[in-house]
Amino acid sequence: MAVKGKVVVIAGASSGIGAATAKKLAAHGAKLFVGARREEKLKALVSDIQAAGGEAAYHLVDVTQKDSVQQFVDAAEAHYGQIDVMYNNAGIMPNSPLKDLKVADWEAAFQINVMGVLYGIAAALPIMKKQGFGHFIATDSNAGHVINPNAAIYSGTKFALRAIMDALRQEEGPNMIRSTMVSPGNVNTGLWKSVGDPELQKKARQREESIGLSPDDLANAVLYAIDQPENVGIDEILLRPTVQQN
Ligand code: NDP
């Protein structure tokens, strides 16, 4: 498989989609470098991967801090000597109606979901251009395609991310640097905890737990995108629970 031996860096790997993807890719022979803020979760993830015979290391990263992302990516390159895949997965979903004016939540969502990804690109793109190969992956969302009340900010971040990732694909594809978005509908990860509004949080939890895909379903999508021959770019995989309408 093309994924075997690839160095995959994941920002936002301590739980949910990122953790499941790290395990799946390691099981298929990739070398993982995982980061997030919760060290205990990262330690447990790395030891699970190693116990299963895989290769992994971790480094703390806060994607709201440009220098922290740079240090994370530099540490990955120093550890493995190259970076094949930079997967910018960190995200939050602090849904609320605009009238509630939760401006700090708006700022946090753009800082993590958009600037965090841009910092990842800023840190890894020069390395990939020097290498002459690489692959950026980002977790977008069906909310990057459809707009719903109470999700103005979350959708705004994911629409923005789609614009950035598609421009990156057009600019760097000719240089053999691939760009992929994985865009899920509901996934049962606990992302609902980042919804501040209690009523909306309850609804988000109910949706995730009743119909959500498993994080492993997303890991399969990421594996598919990485595992294609280098001349095949998977621009986006949009996947929802079959019963989810939008
Ligand atoms: P989780 O809450 O399980 O994962 C979020 C990850 O982001 C965690 O590893 C968390 O790590 C990390 N993260 C958050 N803030 C920061 C930060 N400042 N610095 C570094 N890492 C950070 O939820 P999911 O797995 O569901 O979320 C992953 C992605 O999937 C997100 O981008 C989300 O928008 C997207 N998504 C999820 C859907 C769902 O229904 N679950 C649907 C559509 C898209 P830590 O807290 O340890 O720093």
* CATH number (domain holding residue 134): 3.40.50.720
Q: Cα dist. 119→43, 60, 69, 123, 235 in Å?
A: 24, 15, 6, 6, 20
196 phi and psi angles, rounded to 5 deg = -70, -45
In a domain, 135, yes or no: yes
Say whether pTM exceeds 0.95: yes
The pLDDT of residue 196 is 86
In a domain, 195, yes or no: yes
CB 127 within 8 A of CB 83: yes
| Structure tokens belonging to residue 53 | 């015979």
In a domain, 240, yes or no: no
In a domain, 1, yes or no: no
C-alpha span between 165 and 171 (Å, rounded):
10
The pLDDT of residue 246 is 87
In a domain, 141, yes or no: yes
The pLDDT of residue 10 is 99
The pLDDT of residue 237 is 98
Give distance in angstroms: CA of 140 to centre of ligand 1.
11
Residues near 126 by beta carbon (within 8 Å), at least 6 away in sequence? none
> Does the CB atom of residue 157 touch ligand 1 within 6 A?
no
> Does the CB atom of residue 184 touch ligand 1 within 6 A?
yes
Q: Which of 58, 87, 154, 224 is catalytic?
A: 154
In a domain, 116, yes or no: yes
> Does the CB atom of residue 219 touch ligand 1 within 6 A?
no
In a domain, 241, yes or no: no
Number of domains, the chain: 1
Name the stretches of the chain with pLDDT < 50.
none
Q: Cα dist. 185→208, 215, 245 in Å?
A: 9, 11, 9
In a domain, 245, yes or no: no
Q: What is the CA radius of gyration of the chain?
A: 17
Domain hosting 68: range is 7-234
